[in-house]
Amino acid sequence: MKYKIVPTVCDGCHEQCGVLVHIKDGKVVRIEGDPSNPQNEGKLCPKGFASIEMLYHPNRHKYPLKRKGEKGEGKWERISWNEALQSIADKLKEIKEKYGPLSIAAGVGDRVRALDATLGFLYAIGSPNLFHADSHFCYFPGLLAERCTYGSYITSENGPDFRYSKCIVIWGANPPASHPMRAREIMIAKRKGAKLIVVDPRFTEIASKADLYLQIRPGTDAALALGMLNVIIDEGLYDKEFVDKWCIGFDKLKKRVEEYPPKRVSEITWLSEDEIIQAARMWATNRPSTHYTRIGVQMSVNVVQAIRAISIMIAICGNLDIKGGHILSNKPKGFKSLLEIITKELRLPPELEDKRIGAKEFPLMCSSHSLATNLCHPPSVIHAILTGEPYPVKALWALNDILLALEDSEETKKALLSLEFFVGSDFFMTPTLELCDVILPPCSYLERDEVEDLFYLNFVGARQKVIEPMYETRDDRWMDFEIIKRMGLELPTEWKTIEELNDYRVKGMGITFEELKKKRYVMEPIRYKKYEETGFNTPSGKVELYSSILEKFGYDPLPSYTENPETPVSAPELAKEYPLILITGHRHIAYFHSANRQIPWLRELCPYPYLEIHPETAEKLGIKDGDWVWIETPRSKDKRVKQVAKLTEAVHPRVVAAPSHWWYPERKEPDHGCWESNINVVTSNDPPYDPISGSTPLRCGLCKVYKVEE
């Protein structure tokens, strides 16, 4: 019997935890957290433990497949890799020659698999049209806002120094469900005496641990942040020395926040004046302090200004790049981060990037001036496929479940069906893959080598394959490189293979990828106040409370509040028919977006999509706990979806909360039940959007709920 333990890095979600994989006679028999890895220190969530079931699941894709019947009919035939790759290369070459390179797009999602290689694939073709399934409301709007302010994104997974913080604000996030290792660090700080403030329309797991819980009206986050700034500035609770030396625009900011006294903010947010004042004082007087903002803040038409206000709060209280505050990028010297590769090295000429879908409407997100990453605006990609504007998109290479992830599932399906050529890669047959022409089988993280750093603050880790790829599965990056070669193109970089890419990313550190695997990870000692040596990565070199970048592009250079377009305040007549505010998308610890519902014991943790509704509201509607209920919205175009009512006081009586990405892999029909319960069936792909980032108001629209009678 041969037995060995191999360290690697989990890819079950964005946490990227270190794991030890036990292998017996060539088979993975156990997975546990790696105590030596600083990301998780031996801890692991259910998704990580389920990696074995994913690896050996009988329904995972094993071989390349070609559509046999009509699109969406569910008929497939196995083909060889040679036939698959050559047919893809030939068809893409044909489309490129007929319509031009801009007609080819690619989409990534969920685990951000092969983002660098997929962007390289488009780079070789000459197309700027890469999109992430939720780039317009997850991570990237925050990245844009904070880069306008101090040049770095440090309020998400990467940046808050929770363990040494004395006050932590969790804003629009529930890390025990979505990022459990961050939750662990928060609880470590809490045990050491840190104060905890939670801002969320839902009373979440993390809210139950809070010293102060603020049940805010959905979509009013910018108003609350401006109200807290009002208190902090009015009472002189900010760091005057830091503001004088390192900030510009303070006087203009002070004048702006005078427009948001606690009384006005209370009327906007449903919070009391006392709660607003208490939150501002608690955070500003218990330093060092941190904020953790996530997707709950970013699904509105006011997201960039909301996160601008939050980031300004961090800055003027002196919490930048100090122990227990927000640490600026601290990667090992010489390392090539994924973000650096995709935002600096894989850049097409500006005239091409300015043709990217969404570039004209959202230049700071999508054009050559992008402060986020070089990605398209996803709703606009769907519209371009359907309308041919600004130009036709005829081919798509997708590494995610677009149909479940994007707003307005019906419109998305029409777009995918209208493509001349659609290639997909995913671990299981999904509603999206059922619409493809060719499906390629990817290997799991246990079967591939790569460098991991996405949400690591000051270290990089080695994800190494613990077994050879099973069946005929392949690394997604290998697929990209092979298609490029077969199209007669070349990637103009130092790396053209997986091995070269892995070595390229670490060679500046003076090591090879093989050496990194032996080390497991390389850690850089954290250095504080690096801005004293280099300044901030902004045009002025200082924290820009008044943003010169936003001003240059015609946006308000100071944060402000805008009421969302479909609320009881902005649309009172509509609210008579649709009286409830709908928030969508909260994650469960068992799932990562649409993934993992095939795993029996994970499915047992959350077998159905549960709509959270207040008991008082449910009683008025004749709904009992466990009833199936219909959800309709003003934008659902005569569509409705059903979910299971979960009666809970965790939500306000005027709010309901629906999980997203729901489908039923056990269903045999090609759509796998995705039209029954996926909340995106009743959301909209259309404007209005956040004017800067293109975000959609998925957590502050209106709906009505009623019992399923049949």
Residue 32 CA: distances (Å) to CA of 42, 52, 329, 452: 7, 11, 29, 18
Mean pLDDT, residues 467-473? 97
Helix (H, G, I), strand (E, B) or coil at 46: helix
Mean pLDDT, to the nearest integer, of 83-100? Answer: 98
Q: Tens digit of pLDDT for each residue in 39-48? A: 999 999 999 9
Number of H helices, E strands in the chain: 29, 25
pLDDT for 685 beyond 70: yes
Sign of the CA dihedral running 398, 403, 407, 408: positive
Residue 559 corresponds to which tokens in the numbers above?
A: 């944060």
Q: What number is the average pLDDT over the span 437-455?
A: 94
What pLDDT, on the 0 to 100 scale, is given for residue 419?
98
Helix (H) or strand (E) holding 656: strand 655-658
- Per cent of the chain over pLDDT 90 is 88
pLDDT category of residue 73 using cuts at 50, 70 and 90? very high
Give CA–CA dist 231/242, Å, rounded.
18
> Measured between alpha carbons, how far is 523 from 677 in angstroms, rounded to an integer?
44
DSSP 8-state secondary structure symbol assigned to residue 704? E
Q: Max Cα separation, the chain?
A: 73
Mean pLDDT of 397-402: 89
Q: Is 524 exposed, middle or buried (0-12, 13-18, 19+ CB in 10 A)?
A: middle
Residue with structure tokens 């054009």? 367
Both structure tokens of 37: 């890895």
Q: Identify the bridge partners of residue 521 per DSSP, sorted by sequence position.
A: 461
Centroid of chain to Cα 629: 28
**pLDDT per position as a tens digit, 211-270:** 999 999 999 999 999 999 999 999 999 999 999 999 999 999 999 999 999 999 999 999
Count of alpha carbons within 13 Å of 424, Cβ hemisphere only? Answer: 24
Kindly list the distances between the CA atom of residue 417 and the CA atoms of 403, 409, 423, in Å, as whole numbers in the listed order: 11, 12, 12
**Average pLDDT taken over every residue of the chain:** 95
pLDDT score of 399: 87
- Residues 6 or more apart whose Cβ sits within 8 Å of residue 446: 8, 21, 28, 51, 55, 465, 466, 467
How far is the C-alpha of 653 from the C-alpha of 618, rounded, in Å? 9
Q: Can you state the angle between helices 303-316 and 140-149, rounded to 10 degrees?
A: 50
Alpha-carbon span 406 to 235, nearest angstrom? 44
Which pLDDT belongs to residue 191?
97
Q: Is 468 exposed, middle or buried (0-12, 13-18, 19+ CB in 10 A)?
A: exposed
- Between CA 394 and CA 416 the distance in angstroms is 10
Q: What percent of the chain has pLDDT over 70?
A: 99
Alpha helices in 50-139 (DSSP H): 51-55, 81-99, 115-125
- What average pLDDT score do residues 540-565 get? 98
Residue 443 pLDDT level (bands cut at 50, 70, 90): very high
Q: Would you place residue 367 in the very low, low, confident or very high pLDDT band (cuts 50, 70, 90)?
A: very high
Among candidate residues 144, 161, 543, the one with its CA nearest the CA of residue 317: 543
The number of angstroms, rounded, from the C-alpha of 586 to the middle of its chain's C-alpha atoms is 12
Which amino acid would we find at residue 610? Y
The pLDDT value recorded for residue 113 is: 64
* Residues pairing with 291 in the sheet: 169
Q: Are strands 18-24 and 3-9 parallel, antiparallel or unpaired?
A: antiparallel
Query: Distance between CA atoms of 457 and 185, rounded to whole angstroms?
Result: 14
pLDDT exceeds 80 at position 499: yes
pLDDT in tens, 167-202: 999 999 999 999 999 999 999 999 999 999 999 999
CA–CA gap between residue 378 and residue 129 (Å, rounded) = 10
Does residue 65 carry a pLDDT above 70?
yes
What is the value of pTM for the model shown?
Answer: 0.96
Give me the helices (H) in 437-497, please. 476-486
- Model pLDDT, residue 455: 79
Query: Mean pLDDT over residues 700-707, rounded?
Result: 96
Strands 543-544 and 247-248: parallel
In this structure, are residues 450 and 503 in contact, taking their beta carbons and an 8 Å threshold?
no
Element (H or E) spanning 511, and its range? none
Q: For residue 638, name the pLDDT band (cuts at 50, 70, 90).
A: confident
Q: How far apart are CA 66 and CA 45, in angstroms?
A: 36
What is the three-class DSSP state of 319?
A: coil
CA distances from 18 to 44, 485, 521 (A): 9, 34, 10
CA–CA gap between residue 287 and residue 303 (Å, rounded): 26
CA distance 121 to 144: 25
Confidence of residue 112 (pLDDT cuts 50, 70, 90): low
In angstroms, the CA 411 to CA 210 distance is 41
The whole-number pLDDT of residue 339 equals 82
Range 183-189, long-range pairs (CB < 8 A, 24+ positions):
184/40, 184/43, 186/162, 186/292, 188/162, 188/163, 189/162, 189/163, 189/164, 189/165
Q: What are the E-state strand segments in 524-623?
A: 543-544, 580-584, 610-613
Which of these, 238, 232, 318, lies nearest to 278 by C-alpha position?
232
Tokens of 364: 């700071």
Q: Are 456 and 158 in contact (CB under 8 A)?
A: yes
Distances, alpha carbon 170 to alpha carbons 175, 196, 305, 581, in Å: 9, 8, 18, 21
Closest CA to 175 of 50, 68, 296: 296
Torsions phi, psi for 612 (to 5 deg): -80, 125
pLDDT of residue 304: 96
What is the DSSP-derived secondary structure letter of residue 119? H
Q: How confident is the model at residue 643 (pLDDT cuts 50, 70, 90)?
A: very high
Half-sphere exposure of 354 (CA within 13 A, CB side): 4
The total number of residues shown for the chain amounts to 710
